[in-house]
Chain A
Amino acid sequence: MLKIGNLSKSFGGLKAVSNLNIDIKDGELIGLIGPNGAGKTTVFNLITGVYEPTEGEILFRERKIDGLKPYQVTHRGIARTFQNIRLFADLNVIDNVKIAYHQHAKYSSLGAILRLPSYFKGEAEMEKKALELLKVFRLEGKAREVAKNLPYGEQRRLEIARALAAEPKLLLLDEPAAGMNPQETHELMELIRWIRDTFKLTILLIEHDMSLVMGVCERIYVLDYGTIIAQGGPDEIKSNPKVIEAYLGEEAI
């Protein structure tokens, strides 16, 4: 599904990511963890085309995607959420979702201007799909509310709904549980698993909440100073001395 080979990214003299190798198979649910500033979000930005890698390559479904623009990466089938929520804050909830459906729209600008039958059909279909998706995230009652007025947890859910509207094969979640209480985090965990099974997705997520990462991820990559220091199942990671060192520091002798 996703194969990252020897990926490096430097900002001036700073190597944010160096010699990164990640291999994700179809349908996997993978966690990417690491201390603050380890380069996790940089990895996401490299995959989605926000940054261009200094070295290395990214293959998605056997095709090279590094060097593509972010919207082209999305068209290939990768959608993401953001660490600091980036909703279309002044638009209503359903329009947020519809914008992500835009790439699948079945009518042209001309069809819209002339109000051809394709426009009415296309709009009705988008409305229906968007409402179905909102229902999954229990947001259908708030479809006409302005996004910025939603409570924090619902904004996070809306961001995931919006990413799913792009109909991706690979979903990248950047700290989906940030700012959520334990109850919400637990619900989110169930939701992530359910999404993966229902939409037949592969999911890569960055998270600091260890209960979520350990509870939901099948495999975990640990990133520190831009390199992978460990990978494996949740239990292996928990007992890996390198990981403990990265998080807690070296034991004083």
Chain B
Amino acid sequence: MKRVSILNRKNALTLFLVIVMYAVIQGLIVTDILPPLYTSTLIQVCVYVILAASLNLINGITGQFSIGHAGFMAIGAYLAGIVSVKFHGPLFLSLLVGGIVAAVAGFIVGLPTLRLRGDYLAIATLGLGQIVMIIFQNIDYFGGAAGMQVGRHINWSWAFWVTIISLVVIHNFVNSTHGRACISVRENEIAAEAMGVNTTKYKVLAFTLGAFFAGVAGGIYSNYMYFIQPTTFNFLTSFNILVMVVLGGLGSMTGSILGALIMTVLNVALSGIPSLRMVITALLLIIMMLFRPSGLMGTKEFNLNFLEKKGERNVA
């Protein structure tokens, strides 16, 4: 039988590359070589990588078209902010609470709305995003429309490792029988059900897990940004995350990471010319749809399999 273990060459190499990436950037930050703007961009990249990867779990892997992801991000951002500011809780707890409350919201919303298909689900989740925004706008405890002062409680190291952990969790979930169950829902719901997959359960599970990580990403965001306000989490933010996922390729985890990276860097790079920014982004999307309609990666993943010996398949 094939050797199946967590300690294979591919995993060791991936870990090595991740540590090198972290060490290089951390080194640049500590020695003040990297300007603060770059650090801030890097943390935004982390936030959007988590958001895109978690939306990909819902839209790409499970095939449920949700466009209200900023709503879960908002829940996470506000709740994490509350823990940090009002209760002076540790950062870990702040992120965890943000994620859990977002997950609970995802579960409650997911149960009824995931009965809807296609366009109807999209409209329902769009509405959800708006409702969340309006709720935060009208509750004084959360600062109302003026927003909430949070302060800065997170640094690059935290943001980076939380992102890595999130990605590992999502990757491990997707590459298991439970992930395959989600994929079967996307591929053919009737056949999935006939093969014994409880489709409702897996739709809700993917939605809840996606909402959890959107909440965690929101937590990183609010703990870094000093200040959050409801309009930050409007439809455009949801749309932005969706664009990242589609750009990278629906169903591809590495595609989502790539999409988040490109879009975030592009947004920051073009922030000097706001009028052209939207035009360039839109053009990019049109070109994309013309030449690679399934996204940069399609449903494929970038991996290090080519480094393995022939015949050795990696599962972990």
Contact = CB atoms under 8 A, between A and B. Distances in A.
Nearest to B251: A90
B187 A100 contact: no
A71 B183 contact: no
Contacts of A115: 6, 172, 316
Contacts of A123: 4, 176-177, 315
B198 A71 contact: yes
B176 A91 contact: no
Interface of B: 1-2, 4-6, 169, 172-173, 175-181, 183-184, 187-188, 190-199, 205, 299, 315-316
Interface size band for A = 35 or more
B197 A99 contact: yes
Nearest to B205: A109
Contact of B177 (A79, A86, A88, A98): A98
A65 B172 CA distance: 35
A124 B194 contact: no
Interface in A195-237: none
B184 A113 contact: no
Given A74-B194, A74-B196, A90 B176 contact: no
A109 B180 CA distance: 11
Contact of A102 (B2, B197, B299, B315): B197
Contacts of B195: 71, 74, 79, 99-100, 102, 162-163, 165-166
B192 to A, nearest CB: 7
Most B CB contacts (10 A, CB to CB) among A74, A86, A99, A101 go to A99
Contacts of A128: 1
Contacts of A165: 195
A8 interface: no
A135 interface: no
Given A99-B197, A112-B176, 10 more contacts: A70-B190, A82-B191, A82-B194, A91-B183, A102-B195, A107-B176, A112-B173, A120-B315, A128-B1, A162-B195
A73 to B, nearest CB: 9
A87 interface: yes
